[in-house]
Amino acid sequence: MISARVAEVRRVSSTLWRIDLELLEGVDEPKPFTFAMLWIPRVDEIPLSIAKFSRGLVSFIFRVRGEGTKRLASLRRGDFVALKMPLGKGYAPKPRERILAVAGGVGIAPIPRLLDFCKDTGCDVTIVWGVRTRSEYCDPSLLGLDSDRVEVASDDGSIGFRGTAIDLALEVLRNQRFDTAIAIGPKPMLRAFCEKVRAFAISRALVSVETTVKCGLGICGSCYIKQLPKLLCVDGPVFDCHEVEHFLEIPGA
């Protein structure tokens, strides 16, 4: 585990929080969509996507769900935590790859890292972000997402396009060509994405999924994917749509 010290915790929208950590030891540079197990001493250890990374600093974007994330939101500058990171294979696009990234809600978390990676290596990202309503949205710069190419959708039309992230993504796909489309968000959204994206000529349709992650080290077995001989914490969390067909059918978020 890598020790880290809280630099800042702030609420950025009605549902989203951002935490910046100062790393006290060196770590390998994380690929986009890799994640960390963040340990809050004597509270919990939870999987979180790596949202931002620069030498000595790592950030996470999260939503308060239960006890663990609640305690994460109440950490103070100077508190100590520890990390196992980077975990998983993630997804590292090739230079010049044209990517459509579709995020639902807190699914926006790994996108800043994807954008930074592409700035360094020359891939090209278009971002679609769907929220339920305006209050869940925040200026992308607050998430470290420095792009003028974030297309926003809201279910109630209170900001941006009126409709779901998938509705907007389909609009974008009709007008622009991509090599890869990748979606991250709640299961029903991913299911719809995998179903609808088939109509378009893209070479890869990927989704970043969630399972129970107890160890992050490929040993406890908790993160297996239904009917797939792979572990999320080793091979994921990004999979081809066709690999997770059965997994996406299981009800739940």
Partner 1 sequence: MVVLATEFCGLHLRNPLMNASGVLGFAPEHVDIMASWGIAAIVTKTMTLEPREGYPPPIVVELRNGGLLNAVGLANPGVDSIKELCERARALGLPLIVSVGGRTAREFAETAARAEDLGANALELNLSCPHAKGYGAEIGRNPRLVSEVCKAVCSTVKIPVVAKLGISDKMLESAGRALEAGCRGLTLINTVPAMAIDVYSAKPVLSNVSGGLSGPPIHPIAVKAVYDTYAEYGAEIAGCGGVAAWIDAAELILAGARVVQIGTALARGRGRDVVSRIIEGLASWLETLGFRSLDEVIGLAHRR
Ligand X SMILES: Cc1cc2nc3c(=O)[nH]c(=O)nc-3n(C[C@H](O)[C@H](O)[C@H](O)COP(=O)(O)OP(=O)(O)OC[C@H]3O[C@@H](n4cnc5c(N)ncnc54)[C@H](O)[C@@H]3O)c2cc1C
Ligand Y SMILES: Cc1cc2nc3c(=O)[nH]c(=O)nc-3n(C[C@H](O)[C@H](O)[C@H](O)COP(=O)(O)O)c2cc1C
Which positions touch partner 1 (CB under 8 A)?
1, 3, 5, 24, 37, 39, 41-42, 44-46, 80-82, 84, 214-222, 224-231, 234-235
Tokens found for residue 141: 């710069």
Q: Of 209, 214, 205, nearest to 240 (Cα)?
A: 205
Taking the complex as a whole, the smallest distance from the CB of residue 157 to partner 1 amounts, in Å, to: 40
Tokens found for residue 163: 């409709």
Chosen from partner 1, ligand X, ligand Y, none, partner binding at 62 (C-beta under 5 to 8 Å by type):
ligand X
Q: Of 121, 98, 125, 108, nearest to 31 (Cα)?
A: 121
Taking the complex as a whole, the smallest distance from the CB of residue 113 to ligand X amounts, in Å, to: 10
92-151: contacts with ligand X (CB under 6 A): 106, 109
Q: Does 213 bind ligand FES (CB under 6 A)?
A: yes
Q: Of 40 and 202, which CB lies nearer to partner 1 in the complex structure?
A: 40
Taking the complex as a whole, the smallest distance from the CB of residue 131 to partner 1 amounts, in Å, to: 29
Chosen from ligand FES, ligand Y, partner 1, none, partner binding at 122 (C-beta under 5 to 8 Å by type):
none
Length of the chain: 253
Q: Of 109 and 206, which CB lies nearer to ligand X in the complex structure?
A: 109
Q: Does 35 bind ligand X (CB under 6 A)?
A: yes
Q: Of 49 and 180, which CB lies nearer to ligand FES in the complex structure?
A: 49
Q: Of 80 and 224, which CB lies nearer to ligand FES in the complex structure?
A: 224
Q: Does 215 bind ligand FES (CB under 6 A)?
A: yes
Q: Of 163 and 218, which CB lies nearer to ligand FES in the complex structure?
A: 218
Task: Report angle CA 65, 61, 165 to the nearest 5 degrees.
Answer: 85
Tokens found for residue 239: 């999979």
Q: Does 36 bind ligand X (CB under 6 A)?
A: no
Q: Does 46 bind ligand X (CB under 6 A)?
A: yes
Tell whether omega for the bond before 86 is within 30 degrees of 0, i.e. cis: yes
Q: Which of 111, 150, 233, 244 contacts ligand FES by CB under 6 A?
A: 233
Q: Given the rule CB under 6 A, which residues bind ligand X?
A: 35, 44, 46-49, 60-63, 65-69, 106, 109, 210-211, 213, 237, 253
